[in-house]
Structure 1
Amino acid sequence: MGGDPWSPDDADIPEVARTALIVNLLTEDNLPSYHHEIAVLFGRDNAWGEWVHRWTAEEGRHGIAMRDYMLVKRMVDPVELERFRMTHMSEGYQAQHPDDALRSLAYVSFQELATRVSHRNTGRFTNDPMADRLLARIAADENLHMIFYRNLLKAALEIAPDQAMAAILEVVKTFEMPGAGIPGFQRKAIAMAVEGIYDQRQHHDDVVMPVLRFWNVFEVEGLSGEGEKARVELSEFMSDLDDSATRFTEKRDKLKARLASRG
């Protein structure tokens, strides 16, 4: 249309921030599939219907705001971004637990908080005050979504502790973000982890453990043998995750120190 072709020099942001912006936006973009999944699982009547539609409207606003700002500020290649979007959305998204309300509630409790952390840290890495404010506002919405789901699962623990504990265990052990189907996701996720936008330490300390503590999973009463077995396995898994996060952080710090020493 007669404009200037996009160039990486158009926006003075670190490459990892550009990568994170793309991952975060594409994760938001698959909204039609997300809406379908939660509408089918929870229904569209009464309070659930009001929640599903309000949540969808807010998530849609997130994607619109992010894309508009990124394109106006020329932060990303618009042609490449659209190709990524078409590829990602053409594959759709299917929930890991499409027929299980407890596992779905556990999953979105962690996922919404993980999204909040990723948005918040991405904003800080952009070196753009307005982008930081925008993503902080979006992150605040994601936190409210997390609180809604987290509170529902806490109630489920009181009503059906064994089933809820088993659901939490399975979700924690198999968790992956809904954007895992983005083209080149693993490479992008590693780049984000190396720079500290979202890594194992943050996943353990800032996402999983705060939710588990709120649910009081390691002190909850009324468990049968199977429920207690799930709790023990969850504790062991979290210990292993903590150790893995420590090893990753140590390796990353050593690598950065070596690179810094080379000037």
Structure 2
Amino acid sequence: MTTASVPRIRTAKEWSDVQLLHALEEAVETELNRHLEAAREWMPHEYVPWSDGRNFDGILGGEAWSLDQSKVTDVARTSLVVNLLTEDNLPSYHHEIATLFGRDGAWGTWVHRWTAEEGRHAIVMRDYLLVSRAVDPVELERLRMQHMSTGFEADNSHSVLHQIAYVASQELATRVAHRNTGRASGDPVCDRMLARIATDENLHMVFYRNLLGAALQLAPDQTMRAIADVVTGFRMPGHGMPGFERAAARMAIGGIYNLRIHHDDVLQPVLRHLKVLEVGGLGPDGLQAQQEIGMFMGGLNDQAARFEERREALLARRRTS
């Protein structure tokens, strides 16, 4: 979902990343304190049905995995693997944000806290998947090795504003994907686990969304340009994993994450909360970026409507076949 390249009109004054980091430090500290007050401690081991576990085949001579052992639905199984592989790439994400935001002051405290919280997600998901035999453990490990060996690099230019704009939407997209996967899983244990993870992701989204709002006040034209670039070129962080396109198609048809969800439940809430399309007093570049966002969202809504028609037709054929 990208738009054609449009010539950009630059304003005379632009903030450097270093200037922005210093100028946003107070907002980061405010949001960090809010986050720490709102976050609740939870233990990954409490969400795993350990009594269901048994040895796999291999050096311990247990039972080999087979599909009939899995309690979750097919679409949830696909989504769980994608979601876990995404969480597994945490070292790359930490490198990206730590390099850009720094490791000192409120920025550094947030970077490390965010990383620690995200680490719990991979821990509890992997433990659940293996103990409940929801997925093939051999395939899962091979995919993890392949995906992590590739790493992750942000799509947009490595600027502070682009990164903030990206994660503001990405954290919400992840929350939505986890929550929809839990609902579609058919397993109350899985649903409860993913709801707990989604709560964390929502707090992360609020942190970045509010920080993006502060950036809009500070540097409206540059921030609007960053939002436009991210909105029109958004991709989930797991897009580089093996078999992602096929998995994404299954998840889209299964109602886990698709164009309609992306438009209605991810982009629109962030843009509406920040009143992005209502911001006034912009310079030429900011105004152009704002117009690009409006045009793109209109086009995305049309694409989502066409996708829904195709999806409903496909599901109808499946029901009658």
Q: Please classify the TM superposition score into its range, dividing by the shorter chain length.
A: over 0.9
**What residue ranges of structure 2 are gaps of 5+ in the alignment?**
1-59
**Alpha-carbon distance in 1 for matches of 2:292, 2:280:** 16
Please tell me whether the aligned partners of residues 71 and 132 of structure 2 are also in contact (alpha carbons under 8 angstroms).
Answer: no
Please tell me whether the aligned partners of residues 77 and 134 of structure 2 are also in contact (alpha carbons under 8 angstroms).
Answer: yes
**Corresponding residue for 2:245?**
186
Q: Which has the larger radius of gyration?
A: 2
The TM-score, its normalising length taken from structure 1, stands at 0.98
* One-letter identity of the residue aligned with 1:36: H
Are residue 55 (structure 1) and residue 114 (structure 2) matched? Answer: yes
Please tell me whether the aligned partners of residues 156 and 230 of structure 2 are also in contact (alpha carbons under 8 angstroms).
Answer: no
Are residue 31 (structure 1) and residue 90 (structure 2) matched? Answer: yes
* One-letter identity of the residue aligned with 2:185: T
> Could you tell me how far 1:233 is from its partner in structure 2?
1.3
Count of aligned pairs: 262
The TM-score, its normalising length taken from structure 2, stands at 0.80
Superposed CA RMSD in Å reads 0.9
**Corresponding residue for 2:65?**
6
**Alpha-carbon distance in 1 for matches of 2:167, 2:71:** 34
**Alpha-carbon distance in 2 for matches of 1:125, 1:209:** 23
**Corresponding residue for 1:257?**
316
**What residue ranges of structure 1 are gaps of 5+ in the alignment?**
none
Identical positions, percent: 63
**Alpha-carbon distance in 2 for matches of 1:99, 1:14:** 38
**Corresponding residue for 1:109?**
168
Does 250-259 or 181-190 show the bigger shift? Answer: 250-259
> Could you tell me how far 1:256 is from its partner in structure 2?
1.2
Are residue 151 (structure 1) and residue 210 (structure 2) matched? Answer: yes
**Alpha-carbon distance in 2 for matches of 1:33, 1:225:** 36
Moved over 6 A (4+): none
> Could you tell me how far 1:98 is from its partner in structure 2?
5.5
* One-letter identity of the residue aligned with 2:95: H
> Could you tell me how far 1:218 is from its partner in structure 2?
1.1
The DSSP-based 3-state class of the residue aligned with 2:278 is: coil
Which has more helix, going by share of residues?
1
The DSSP-based 3-state class of the residue aligned with 1:214 is: helix
Q: How does 1:136-147 map to 2 (within 5 A)?
A: 136-147=195-206
**Corresponding residue for 1:21?**
80
Please tell me whether the aligned partners of residues 156 and 229 of structure 2 are also in contact (alpha carbons under 8 angstroms).
Answer: no
* One-letter identity of the residue aligned with 1:19: T
Does 227-236 or 75-84 show the bigger shift? Answer: 227-236
> Could you tell me how far 1:74 is from its partner in structure 2?
0.3
